[in-house]
Amino acid sequence: MWNKSAMLLMVQVKVKGHWGFIFPVPLWVVDQFFDSLTDLAWVGETGLKLIPLPQEENARKHLRFVKAISPSGLIAVSHSVIKELRGHKGLDVVDVETGEVRVKVQLR
C-alpha cells in the first residue's frame, strides 16, 4: 500500500500580494477511503434490509425510500471517478483568475 506512486490533486489558492496556500490531496488515500466506505455502506445496506417496515404510513414511506437507495452504488460510482482522475497525471483541471484571487487545481 505505501509503495504506491502517489498522485496528488493540488488545490492552489492565491491572493495577490497577500497570502496563498497549496492543499495537496493524495488520490490514493481517497481511493482507499472509498474502498473502505463501499464495504461499510454494504454492511449498512444489509442491516437496513432486515429492519421491518413500520405501521405508520409516513415513517413507512420514508424507510421505503431509504431502503431503495443504494449508497454502495453511489460510492462505487464516485470511486470510479477518482480512479479515472488518477490516469491524468499532469493535467491542469481548473485555472481561474479573477482580480486578486487565483485558484488552480492540478493533477500531479
CB 83 to other proteins: min, Å: 8
CB 13 to other proteins: min, Å: 15
CB 9 to other proteins: min, Å: 12
What does the block give as the cell for 79? 470511486
Q: By C-beta, is 2 or 34 nearer to other proteins?
A: 34
35 Cβ neighbours under 8 A, 6+ residues apart: 79
Which residues of the shown chain bind other proteins in the complex (CB under 8 A)?
Answer: 65, 69, 73-74, 77-78, 80-81, 83-85, 87-88, 91-99
**Radius of gyration for the alpha carbons in the chain, expressed in angstroms and rounded:** 20
What does the block give as the cell for 25? 490531496
Q: By C-beta, is 17 or 99 nearer to other proteins?
A: 99
CB 56 to other proteins: min, Å: 19
70 Cβ neighbours under 8 A, 6+ residues apart: 45
State how far the Cα of 87 lies from the Cα of 93, in Å rounded to an integer: 13
Q: By C-beta, is 57 or 84 nearer to other proteins?
A: 84
